[in-house]
């Protein structure tokens, strides 16, 4: 039994664009491109979908805003619970 770790292959954005654009040319099928570049055909279809939606290379991560928690006695007296959010200019 093979217990070695299998690592995911990372594709650069440029490589993804090249493969997707080659698939749009129509000179090769997605199956042929999958064999040529040693990538699963379903992965190419996903890249093509994201490319058409202009999401290829877009990050799925979210941007977080820094938060400072302080004790404000005035707020605590007026309400049972309060959340005051102050954003710096440009956020």
Whole-structure pTM value: 0.59
pLDDT tier, 47 (very low <50, low <70, confident <90, very high otherwise): very high
What is the domain partition of the chain in residue ranges?
A: 13-52
| Residue 33 DSSP label | H
> Of 54 and 74, which is predicted with more confidence?
54
| Tens-place pLDDT, residues 27-40 | 999 999 999 999 99
What is the token pair recorded at 72?
Answer: 């404000």
Q: Which residues contact 32 (CB under 8 A, 6 or more apart)?
A: none
Query: Measured between alpha carbons, how far is 84 from 18 in angstroms, rounded to an integer?
Result: 48
The answer for residues whose C-beta is within 8 angstroms of residue 30's C-beta and 6 or more apart is 23, 41, 44, 45, 48
Per-residue confidence (pLDDT) for residue 44, from 0 to 100: 97
pLDDT of residue 90: 57
What's the confidence (pLDDT) of residue 80? Answer: 61
Task: Return d(Cα 59, Cα 43) in angstroms, integer.
Answer: 17
Q: Which residues contact 73 (CB under 8 A, 6 or more apart)?
A: none
pLDDT band at 68 (very low <50, low <70, confident <90, very high): confident
């Amino acid at each position: 039994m093979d217990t070695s770790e299998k690592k995911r292959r990372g594709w650069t954005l440029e490589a993804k664009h090249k493969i997707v654009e080659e698939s749009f040319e129509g000179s090769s099928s997605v199956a042929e491109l999958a064999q040529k570049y040693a990538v699963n055909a379903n992965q190419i279809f996903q890249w093509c979908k994201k490319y058409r939606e202009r999401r290829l290379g877009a990050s799925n991560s979210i941007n977080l805003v820094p938060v400072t928690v302080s004790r404000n006695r005035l707020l605590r007296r007026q309400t049972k619970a309060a959340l005051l959010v102050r954003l710096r200019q440009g956020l």
